Amino acid sequence: MFELQGPWWELPLRAGVVYLALLVLVRLSGRRTVGQFTPFDLLVVMLLSESVSSGLAGRETSVGGGLLSAATLIALNVLVAAISARSVRVQQWVEGRPVLIGRDGDIFEEVLKKHHVPLCDVERALREADCDRKDLKFAFLEADGQISILQRSGDSGLPIDL
């Protein structure tokens, strides 16, 4: 039950390879956050977990082996977070950068398509910001998948007729 079936170093090595591969795949997949998952996104995450489980464990079925793999994944996550906190370049690669998706009332639909963001998500963000499209100054797709809306200021700079 607690005795490892292979060399101890094999599990951290497997966990590291799987962690890095999944980090790259998740980074390439887009910017949706967990709260924005569609049922299809959730299904992919669940199947992804199942598909890599044998790659993590190999022939290992012991409790100790499972705990060693879990500890390795958590340690790698902490390490990536620590490196990201100290390096802007690593942080931008891991987390991404904000993307301009609209300006001065125009929504850039080609940019939305490139980042797999439906127009209805931008329209919802406009409603939540209590902003009409004509009052939109900037819209950003944030690195975490949220959409930020910046409105034009109350002073439009236009002369007032008295």
Query: pLDDT at position 119, please?
Result: 94
Residue 150 sits at φ, ψ, to 5 deg, of: -115, 125
102, burial (CB in 10 Å: exposed 0-12, middle 13-18, buried 19+) = buried
Tell me how far apart the alpha carbons of residues 42 and 61 are, in angstroms, rounded to a whole number.
27
Query: pLDDT at position 154, please?
Result: 61
Q: Give domain limits for the chain.
A: 10-95, 99-151
Query: pLDDT at position 158, please?
Result: 45
Q: How confident is the model at residue 103 (pLDDT cuts 50, 70, 90)?
A: very high
Query: pLDDT at position 37, please?
Result: 65
Pick the range with the lowest mean pLDDT from 48-62, 113-127, 134-148.
Answer: 48-62
118 contacts 112 by C-beta, under 8 angstroms:
yes
Q: What is the percent of the chain where pLDDT is above 70?
A: 85
Question: Does an H or E element contain 99, and which?
Answer: strand 99-103
Give SS3 for 146. coil
Task: Among 3.30.240.20, 3.10.20.310, 3.40.50.300, 3.30.930.10, name the CATH number for the domain at 99-151.
Answer: 3.30.240.20
Q: What is the mean pLDDT of residues 101-112?
A: 95
Instruction: Report pLDDT digits (tens) over 13-31.
Output: 888 888 888 888 777 766 6
